[in-house]
C-alpha cells in the first residue's frame, strides 16, 4: 500500500474542492452518509505533503509565536537548490520574489509591464485564471488557439503572427501545459521565445507544473532554451502544485534581468506586499532532499492513476482523454459522443456524480472538454471510471 492510497476525508475542512462542489457543480460531496460525489475538479491533490513540510509547520506551532518573518537567506537558497538539482537551472537568489501564489504573480506582472487596453496573448485552451485576471485588470485577452496533433496540443506560429495587431505587449505561456498536459519541446519553446521577440512582448512563463512530468518526459525551463530571452523573461514557479500546499499561497517570480526586476520590485513595494511566514517555512522545508524523495514517489503513483483513468475513459466510445505528458489533470474530449455540452456534463455531474472543470472556462477550443483531476487515492480513480462507464453505458 502506498502512502497516497489513504482516503483522507476533506469534507467540512473549508476545502474548495470538496466543500464547494455542490454549490458550483450541483454534486454533493461525500459526507459519510448517502452522498457520494467525487471531487475531480480544482488542481489540488487529496494527499498530505511530505513529513518535512508537516514537521516545519509543527515546529512553528510548538514555538507558538507568530511574528514578522525575517532573514530569508535559507529560504532563497532552498529555492536555488531545487531549481539547480531538479531542473539544472542556475538562478541568482537575488532574482526571487515571493507573491501570494502565482495568480497574484500574474496580476502583478500585468500591472508592472502592461497598460490598460494592451493585448495579452494566451495559447488557448489554457488555465482559466489567466484570462480572468487579464480582463479584471482592464487588458485584452488575445487568444492564439492551439491545434491538435499526434502528441496533443501544438502551436502554429504563422497563424499567430498573422493575428498580431501591434497592441500586444505580453504573452503568458503555461509550461508544462494545463489543461493539455504537454511538456513543450525545445523547438516549441524556442518558437515561443522567437515569437515574443518578433512582436516585442514580455514573456511570462508559468512553470508551476514543472515537477510533475510523467516518466519519459523532461521539462525544460525557458532560460535553458534561450539564454538571450532573459531581457524580456519573467519566470513563475511555486511549490504549491508539487507538494499540495496551495492554501499557503506562496509563489515565486524569478527575474534575471535587473531592469525588469527593479520594475517588479517597485510595483510590489507600491502594493505593500510581503510574504506570509507559513508559506516561506513550508517552501523551505519542501525544497529539500526529503521533499525530492517524496516527489519521486508521487510521480509514479500519479502515472499509474493517469493510465488507469485514461484506459477507463478511452474504453467508452466517443470519449478521448488527451495523452498526458505532465500534471495530474486529464483533458477529456466528449465531442465523439455527438451529445450537446449540457447533456454530457449532466451525465458526468448527475449520473456519475463527479465534479470536473468545464472546458469552456479554459477559452476557445475547450467547448467539448471536461478536465478531471486524478491526484486522489487510486480506489477513487477506479470508482470514477466505473461510474463514467455506467453513465455512458448506452454508448457501449
Ligand atoms: C498554470 C497555473 N498557474 C497558476 C495556478 C495557481 O497558482 P496559485 O494557486 O499559486 O495562485 C495554477 C493552478 O492550477 C495553474 O495551473
DSSP string, 269-325: HHTT----HHHHHHHHHHSSHHHHHHHHHHHHHHHHHHHHHHHHHHTSTT-EEPPPS
Report helix, strand or coil for 194: helix
**Which grid coordinates are listed for 372?**
478531471
Distance CA 147, CA 191 (A): 15
Q: Whose CA is nearest to atom 13 of ligand 1?
A: 43
Residues of the chain with pLDDT under 70: 30-34
* Bridge partners for 213 per DSSP: 326
**Cell reading at 9:** 476525508
44 in contact with ligand 1, CB cutoff 6 A: no
Question: Is 213:176 a contact under the CB 8 Å cutoff?
Answer: yes
Residue-level pLDDT at 30: 67
Cα distance between residue 369 and residue 49, in whole Å: 30
Which residue of 129, 133, 239, 282 sits with most ligand 1 atoms within 8 Å of its CB, as the best mutation to test the pocket? Answer: 129
Residue closest by Cα to atom 4 of ligand 1: 102
pTM, full prediction: 0.97
Q: Residue 26: in which H helix or E strand, if any?
A: none
Distance 63 CA to ligand 1 centre (A): 31
Q: How far is the CA of 33 from the centre of ligand 1 (A)?
A: 32
248 lines ligand 1 (CB under 6 A): no
Q: Is the CB of 80 under 6 A from ligand 1?
A: no
Angle between helices 289-314 and 73-87 (to 10 degrees): 50
- The answer to whether the beta carbons of residues 199 and 223 sit under 8 Å apart is no
Distance 204 CA to ligand 1 centre (A): 13
Determine the Cα angle at 364 with ends 323 and 28, to 5°. Answer: 70
- Ligand 1 centre and the CA of 5: distance in Å? 25
Ligand 1 and 246: CB distance under 6 A = yes
CA of 386 to the centre of ligand 1 (A): 30
| Ligand 1 proximity of 103 Cβ (cutoff 6 Å) | yes
Cis, bond preceding 83 (omega within 30 deg of 0)? no
Is the CB of 112 within 6 Å of ligand 1?
A: no
Burial class (CB in 10 A: 0-12, 13-18, 19+), 351: middle
Residues 232/193, Cβ–Cβ less than 8 Å? no
3-class DSSP assignment, residue 142:
strand
Q: Smallest Cα–Cα separation from 219: which of 314, 62, 361, 88?
A: 88
Of the candidates 40, 104, 385, the residue with the CA atom closest to the CA atom of residue 252: 104
DSSP class of residue 371 equals E
Per-residue confidence (pLDDT) for residue 281, from 0 to 100: 98
Answer yes or no: are the C-beta atoms of 26 and 20 closer than 8 Å.
Answer: no
**Residues 21 and 41: beta-carbon distance below 8 Å:** yes
**Alpha carbon 394 to chain centroid distance?**
34
Ligand 1 neighbour 357 (Cβ under 6 A): no
SS3 (DSSP) at 18: helix
Amino acid at each position: 500500500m502506498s502512502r497516497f492510497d489513504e482516503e483522507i476525508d476533506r469534507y467540512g475542512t473549508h476545502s474548495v474542492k470538496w466543500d464547494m462542489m455542490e454549490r458550483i457543480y450541483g454534486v454533493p460531496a461525500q459526507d459519510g452518509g448517502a452522498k457520494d460525489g467525487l471531487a475531480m475538479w480544482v488542481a489540488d491533490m487529496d494527499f498530505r505533503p511530505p513529513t518535512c513540510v508537516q514537521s516545519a509547520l509543527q515546529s512553528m506551532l510548538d514555538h507558538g509565536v507568530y511574528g514578522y518573518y525575517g532573514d530569508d537567506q535559507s529560504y532563497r537558497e532552498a529555492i536555488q537548490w531545487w531549481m539547480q538539482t531538479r531542473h539544472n537551472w542556475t538562478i541568482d537568489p537575488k532574482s526571487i520574489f515571493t507573491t501570494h501564489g502565482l495568480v497574484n504573480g500574474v496580476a502583478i506582472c500585468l500591472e508592472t509591464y502592461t497598460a490598460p487596453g494592451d493585448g495579452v496573448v494566451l495559447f488557448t485552451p489554457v488555465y482559466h485564471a489567466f484570462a480572468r485576471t487579464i480582463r479584471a485588470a482592464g487588458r485584452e485577452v488575445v487568444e492564439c488557439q492551439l491545434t491538435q496533433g499526434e502528441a496533443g496540443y501544438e502551436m502554429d506560429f504563422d497563424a499567430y503572427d498573422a493575428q498580431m495587431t501591434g497592441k500586444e505587449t505580453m504573452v503568458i505561456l503555461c509550461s508544462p501545459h494545463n489543461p493539455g498536459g504537454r511538456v513543450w519541446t525545445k523547438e516549441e519553446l524556442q518558437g515561443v521565445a522567437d515569437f515574443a521577440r518578433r512582436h516585442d512582448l514580455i514573456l511570462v512563463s508559468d512553470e508551476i507544473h514543472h515537477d510533475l512530468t510523467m516518466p519519459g518526459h523532461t521539462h525544460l525551463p525557458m532560460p535553458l532554451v534561450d539564454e538571450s530571452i532573459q531581457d524580456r523573461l519573467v519566470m513563475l514557479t511555486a511549490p504549491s502544485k508539487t507538494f499540495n500546499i496551495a492554501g499557503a499561497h506562496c509563489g515565486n517570480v524569478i527575474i534575471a534581468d535587473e531592469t525588469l526586476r527593479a520594475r517588479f520590485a517597485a510595483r510590489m513595494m507600491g502594493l505593500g506586499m510581503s510574504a506570509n511566514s507559513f508559506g516561506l517555512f513550508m517552501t523551505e522545508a519542501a525544497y529539500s532532499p526529503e521533499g525530492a524523495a517524496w516527489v519521486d514517489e508521487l510521480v509514479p503513483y500519479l502515472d499509474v492513476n493517469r493510465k488507469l483513468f485514461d484506459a477507463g475513459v478511452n474504453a467508452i466510445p466517443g470519449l478521448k482523454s488527451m495523452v498526458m505528458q505532465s500534471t495530474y489533470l486529464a483533458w477529456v474530449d466528449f465531442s465523439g459522443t455527438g451529445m450537446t455540452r449540457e447533456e454530457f456534463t449532466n451525465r458526468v455531474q448527475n449520473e456519475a456524480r463527479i465534479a470536473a472543470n468545464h472546458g469552456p472556462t479554459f477559452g476557445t477550443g475547450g467547448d467539448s472538454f471536461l478536465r478531471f483531476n486524478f491526484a486522489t487515492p487510486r480506489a477513487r480513480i477506479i470508482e470514477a471510471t466505473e461510474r463514467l462507464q455506467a453513465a455512458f453505458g448506452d454508448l457501449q
